């Protein structure tokens, strides 16, 4: 191809110089030579060889006419056409190139977009996965909260029930030394005995239930009290044994042994007149004191 072009250029130059020998080339031929030269060394040679060949043939005809006949009308017409043919070859080459670049740009854009969609899909996948995990965690949390709520409600119900049960046979008071549950001695024991009555056990179950609702760190003291009938040491001993019986029963019902102690007071802490039967009945009692937790001082 290059050799052919070189040959052609040589031919054109030879013809041109032949023309020059006789007369100056017409302006149309000068233009045609310039246009062809531009096309030949431009993009047309690579992109559009077919049109460049047509232009080559046209300029060869013009040069031959000029060499043979000089600056004739025919020479000018042929040069005029050759000039256009060279320009057409170059213009079409440029158009092809522009279209190629357009296609490349569009393809690149499409590739970018495809990649973008792929990336976005991957991101979406990861986000969905995360969301699903979060949803699962949230569901677990909700279930846990619901279980806790049900448990709390049940505990509150039990506590309320225990308190209600307790109120039937015991008095519950808040005092400076803590919450005091007072059970009448007659409810728990037969006279002068320290064995718990079967009915007492049911009642103490309610007490134990109520105690489990309290702060597990609080200390519990079971206090035995008697009336003044009988000797002091006898009553001291009886009150101690009764307090111990209640304490042991409570421990058997699930109160931690190290939380609960017992103490007998005999009739030293009477709360009513021992002269009347009613007063004595009130004095025969077991008090369960739930001590508020002592906050450690700094």
Binding site for other proteins (CB under 8 A): 73-74, 77, 80-81, 84-85, 87-88, 91-92, 94-96, 98-99, 101-102, 105-106, 108-109, 112-113, 115-116, 119
Nearest partner of 77 among 37, 11, 31, 29, judged by Cα: 29
CB of 103 to other proteins, least distance (A): 8
- The three-point CA angle 18-20-25 to 5° equals 120
Task: Tell me which residue has tokens 């001082």.
Answer: 297
For the chain, strand residue ranges (E) read 170-175, 178-184, 219-225, 260-264, 285-291
Compare residues 47 and 207 and give the one whose CB is closer to other proteins. Answer: 47
Compare residues 73 and 293 and give the one whose CB is closer to other proteins. Answer: 73
Dihedral of the CA atoms 16, 22, 28, 34 (nearest 10)?
A: 30
CB of 125 to other proteins, least distance (A): 15
CB of 115 to other proteins, least distance (A): 7
CB 81 within 8 A of CB 58: yes
Compare residues 82 and 208 and give the one whose CB is closer to other proteins. Answer: 82
CB of 81 to other proteins, least distance (A): 5
Strands 219-225 and 285-291: antiparallel
Compare residues 98 and 133 and give the one whose CB is closer to other proteins. Answer: 98
CB of 26 to other proteins, least distance (A): 14
Compare residues 119 and 232 and give the one whose CB is closer to other proteins. Answer: 119
- The three-point CA angle 261-262-268 to 5° equals 140
């Amino acid at each position: 191809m290059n050799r052919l072009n070189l040959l052609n250029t040589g031919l054109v130059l030879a013809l041109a110089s032949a023309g020059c020998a006789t007369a100056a080339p017409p302006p149309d031929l000068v233009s045609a030579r310039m246009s062809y030269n531009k096309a030949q060394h431009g993009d047309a040679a690579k992109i559009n060889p077919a049109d460049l060949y047509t232009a080559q043939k046209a300029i060869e005809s013009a040069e031959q006419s000029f060499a043979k006949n000089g600056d004739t009308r025919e020479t000018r017409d042929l040069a005029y056409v050759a000039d256009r043919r060279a320009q057409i070859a170059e213009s079409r080459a440029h158009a092809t190139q522009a279209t190629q670049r357009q296609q490349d740009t569009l393809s690149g854009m499409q590739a970018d977009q495809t990649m973008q969609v792929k990336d976005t899909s991957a991101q979406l996948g990861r986000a969905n996965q995360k969301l699903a995990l979060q949803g699962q965690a949230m569901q677990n949390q909700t279930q846990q909260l619901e279980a806790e709520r049900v448990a709390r409600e049940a505990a509150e119900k039990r506590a309320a029930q225990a308190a209600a049960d307790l109120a039937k046979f015991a008095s519950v008071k808040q005092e400076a030394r803590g919450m005091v549950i007072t059970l009448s001695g007659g409810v728990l024991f037969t006279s002068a005995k320290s064995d718990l009555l079967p009915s007492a056990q049911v009642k103490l179950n309610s007490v134990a239930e109520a105690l489990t609702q309290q702060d597990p760190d609080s200390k519990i003291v079971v206090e035995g009290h008697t009336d003044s009938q009988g000797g002091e040491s006898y009553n001291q001993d009886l009150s101690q044994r009764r307090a111990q019986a209640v304490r042991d029963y409570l421990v058997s019902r699930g109160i931690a042994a190290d939380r609960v102690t017992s103490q007998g007071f005999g009739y030293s802490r009477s709360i009513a007149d021992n002269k009347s039967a009613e007063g004595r009945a009130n004095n025969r009692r077991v008090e369960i004191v739930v001590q508020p937790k002592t906050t450690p001082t700094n």
